[in-house]
């Protein structure tokens, strides 16, 4: 039932796209897009949002790439790192896809990157934020349209200092993603002259925070910076408010702390400050148009993941247009992809030499259960990629 509604909505969008896009060249061979995303399990919602965004972007441009029709090959990654190399090989060698789009999960990304290196398959990462993908492990055929943990948290360091906070406690789960995130904050905050009183690492995926909250209470920092996601994010923000700490100590966090969690967090979230490369309330013509089109097609508000999928689609649209639909010359295709500049719903988007987005990071405050954009925390932020030599 749901699919039918979606298809009809898409069809009308395709019509609109055709009208704008003009003549579409017919070609025998469709462009094959291999989607390696989680469609079941904990991350299924993310996989779906990315797919929706991607399909919307392509549908809005006449459901074609460089004049060729598009075939989607969807493979459920199950967010399972151990199956990643095998899954990716199947898409590249078995299905002969022209582009691989995925994954959501950083562990899966590690497995995919290995195959991307062996096969040279053009891979666009629409989420996974591990720093290495566009630094130590960067390669010409790999692009990322999302973020790195560092990119979203680094700007908060200056924001915290400018707001008068000098002594901060950081707390996250003891795993790579969490540690990369708070490292970005700590770097910027100490560069400004602030002091990190203590870095608290909670065993993953524990959501039992009482003893840590007591510890924070006795340390008496000016502010707390945190990264938790999903259920952990909801629990931490609610427990932090229930412990009364919120009344005296400002809570700062990565945008992922509260993204998609606002309803579950409820009142406890009011006043929490986060930084992220997108906010659904961003008041720009590009974002308003995107939100409207997304809602018309799927009935939901788009989230950060949908935008990342959408921009992946826009990259493909523009790059394929630039090469006239010819996927045979890979170097030309890679050059076209690296030169892309997007007028994205999240703001201007360009790519660094390591193929990572150069983008704005926004400061957002939760007011009345919405992420209100307070300002740009860091404009056109480029991530460090000294270890990348390609």
Partner 1 sequence: MDLAFFSVQLLNGLQYGLLLFLIASGLTLIFGIMGIINLAHGAMYMIGAYLVYDLTFRLGSFWLAILAAIPVAIALGLIIERLFLDTLYKRDHLYQVLLTFGLILVLNEAQRIIWGGDVHSVPVPELFSGRIQLTDNLQYSHYRLFVMGVCLALAGVIYWVIRHTRLGIIIRAGAVNRDMVEGLGINVRTLFTLIFSVGVALTAFAGMIAAPLTSIAPGMGDSILITCFVVVVIGGIGSIKGAFWGAILIGMAETFGSVLIPSLASMVIYLIMAAVLLVKPRGLFA
Residues that bind partner 1 (CB under 8 A): 40-45, 174, 200-203, 205-208, 210-215, 217-218, 220, 230-235, 238, 242-245, 247-249, 260-261, 263-266
Q: Which is nearer to partner 1, 180 or 259 (CB)?
A: 259
d(CA 242, CA 363): 24
d(CA 16, CA 59): 9
> CA 209 → CA 212, 238, 244, distances in Å?
5, 10, 14
Q: Are the beta carbons of 361 and 349 closer than 8 angstroms?
A: no
SS3 of 31, please? strand
Q: Which is nearer to partner 1, 266 or 348 (CB)?
A: 266
Give the closest residue to 381 by CA, choosing from 173, 50, 159: 159
Closest distance of CB 96 from partner 1, Å: 32
Closest distance of CB 153 from partner 1, Å: 21
Q: Are the beta carbons of 39 and 76 closer than 8 angstroms?
A: yes
Q: Which is nearer to partner 1, 141 or 274 (CB)?
A: 274
Closest distance of CB 357 from partner 1, Å: 26
Cβ neighbours of residue 134 closer than 8 Å, sequence gap 6 or more? 142, 144, 148, 352, 354, 355, 356, 383, 385, 388
Q: Which two tokens stand for residue 20?
A: 């704008």
DSSP string for 168-228 = EEEEEESSHHHHHHHHHHHHHHHHHT-EEEEEEEEPTT----HHHHHHHHHH--SEEEEE-
Closest distance of CB 355 from partner 1, Å: 30
Closest distance of CB 244 from partner 1, Å: 3
Q: Which is nearer to partner 1, 244 or 324 (CB)?
A: 244
Closest distance of CB 185 from partner 1, Å: 19
Q: Which is nearer to partner 1, 74 or 332 (CB)?
A: 74
d(CA 138, CA 228): 27
Q: Which is nearer to partner 1, 205 or 271 (CB)?
A: 205
Q: Which is nearer to partner 1, 26 or 263 (CB)?
A: 263
Closest distance of CB 306 from partner 1, Å: 15
> CA 353 → CA 34, 69, 270, 334, distances in Å?
24, 30, 39, 12
Burial 315-354 (b: 16+ CB within 10 A, else e): bbbbbbbbbebebeeeeebbebbbebebebbbbebebbeb
Closest distance of CB 356 from partner 1, Å: 28
Q: Which is nearer to partner 1, 119 or 243 (CB)?
A: 243
């Amino acid at each position: 039932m749901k699919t039918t509604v979606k298809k009809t909505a898409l069809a009308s969008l395709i019509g609109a796209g055709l009208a704008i896009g003009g003549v579409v060249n017919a070609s025998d061979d469709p462009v094959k897009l291999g989607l390696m995303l989680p469609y079941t399990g904990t991350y299924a919602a993310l996989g779906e949002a990315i797919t929706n965004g991607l399909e919307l972007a392509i549908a809005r441009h006449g459901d074609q790439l460089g004049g060729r029709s598009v075939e989607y090959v969807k493979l459920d990654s199950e967010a399972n790192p151990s199956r990643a190399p095998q899954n990716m090989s199947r898409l590249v060698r078995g299905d002969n896809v022209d582009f691989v789009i995925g994954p959501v999960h950083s562990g899966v990304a590690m497995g995919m990157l290995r195959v991307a290196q062996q096969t040279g398959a053009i891979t666009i990462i629409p989420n996974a934020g591990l720093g290495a993908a566009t630094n130590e492990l960067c390669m010409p055929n790999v692009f990322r349209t999302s973020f790195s943990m560092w990119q979203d948290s680094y700007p908060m360091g200056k924001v915290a200092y400018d707001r008068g906070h000098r002594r901060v406690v950081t707390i996250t789960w003891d795993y790579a993603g969490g540690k990369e995130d708070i490292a970005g904050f700590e770097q910027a905050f100490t560069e400004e002259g602030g002091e990190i009183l203590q870095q608290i690492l909670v065993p993953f995926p524990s959501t039992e925070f009482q003893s840590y909250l007591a510890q924070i209470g006795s340390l008496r920092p000016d502010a707390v910076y945190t990264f938790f996601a999903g259920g952990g994010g909801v629990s931490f923000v609610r427990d932090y408010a229930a412990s009364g700490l919120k009344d005296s100590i400002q809570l700062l966090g990565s945008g992922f702390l509260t993204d998609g969690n606002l309803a579950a967090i409820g009142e406890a979230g009011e006043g929490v400050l986060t930084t992220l490369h997108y906010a659904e309330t961003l008041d720009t013509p590009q974002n308003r148009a995107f939100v409207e089109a997304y809602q018309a097609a799927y009935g939901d508000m788009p989230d950060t993941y949908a935008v990342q999928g959408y921009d992946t689609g826009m990259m493909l649209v523009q790059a394929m247009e630039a090469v006239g639909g010819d996927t045979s010359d890979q170097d030309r295709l890679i050059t076209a992809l690296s030169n892309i500049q997007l007028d994205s719903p999240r703001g201007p988007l360009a790519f660094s030499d390591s193929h990572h987005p150069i983008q704005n990071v926004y400061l957002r405050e939760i007011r009345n259960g919405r992420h209100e954009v307070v300002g740009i925390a860091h404009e056109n932020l480029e991530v460090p990629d000294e270890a990348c030599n390609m």
